[in-house]
Amino acid sequence: MEIVLALGIGTLAGCGVWLILRPRTFQVIVGLSLLSYAVNLFILSTGRLGTGRPPVLAPQGIGDPQLFADPVPQALVLTAIVISFATTALFLVVLLAARGLTGTDHVDGQEP
């Protein structure tokens, strides 16, 4: 499972970096989204991979903490998703404003 996750994160990050370096604003925003997916998966992976491990302790007793998932990365990834979603939406508005003002979707505001 580790290798699949690592390859997935790597592919997403690679595509994201490539798209961020492209000249069209739409490509840049898709690139940023892909990069944030990669980062979110990366944060999740720092809590160690595993299935069937609840993040919340059972009510009848704590038992072995090894059987539980680390809840902190899950909380972090939730926050990160919300923040990156909000800033991406905000950026989208700026892109539309720039498109309206300059008449082009090139990142520099003019065709090369």
Partner 1 sequence: MVSGISQHLIVAPVVLPLFAGAVMLALGRERHRNLNAAINVASTFMLVTVAVALIKTADEADGGLAGVYRLGDWPVPFAIVLVVDRLSALMLLLTSLVAAAAVVFSLARWHRAGAYFHPLFQFLLMGLNGAFLTGDLFNLFVFVEVLLAASYGLALHGSGSPRVKAAQHYIVVNLAASLLFLVGVSLIYGVSGTLNMANLAARISTAGTSDRAFVEAGAGILGIAFLVKAGMWPLCFWLPATYASAAPPVASIFSILTKLGAYVVLRLWLLLFGQDAGPSAQYGAEWLLLGGMATVAFGAIGTLASQDLARLCAFSVLVSTGTVLAAIGMGHVGTTGGALFYLVSSTLGIAALFLLIELVERREPEGGLAAAQRETSREGEHMDDAREVGIAIPASMGMLGVAFIGCTAVIAGLPPLSGFIAKFALLSDALNAAGPQSGRVSAAAWALMVVLILSGLAALVALTRAGIRAFWASPERSAPRVRVIEMAPVVMLLILCAVQTVQAGPIMRFMQATALSLHAPQHYIRDVLGSPSKRPGLRATGT
Point out which residues bind partner 1 (CB under 8 A).
20, 25, 28, 32, 35-36, 39, 42-43, 45-47, 72-73, 76, 79-80, 83-84, 86-88, 90-91, 94-95, 97-98, 101-102, 107-109
Cβ(13)–Cβ(35) below 8 Å:
yes
Phi, psi of 24 (to 5 degrees): -95, 140
Distance CA 81, CA 35 (A): 12
Q: Tell me whether residue 50 or residue 109 sits nearer to partner 1 (CB atom).
A: 109
**Closest CB 44 distance from partner 1, rounded Å:** 9
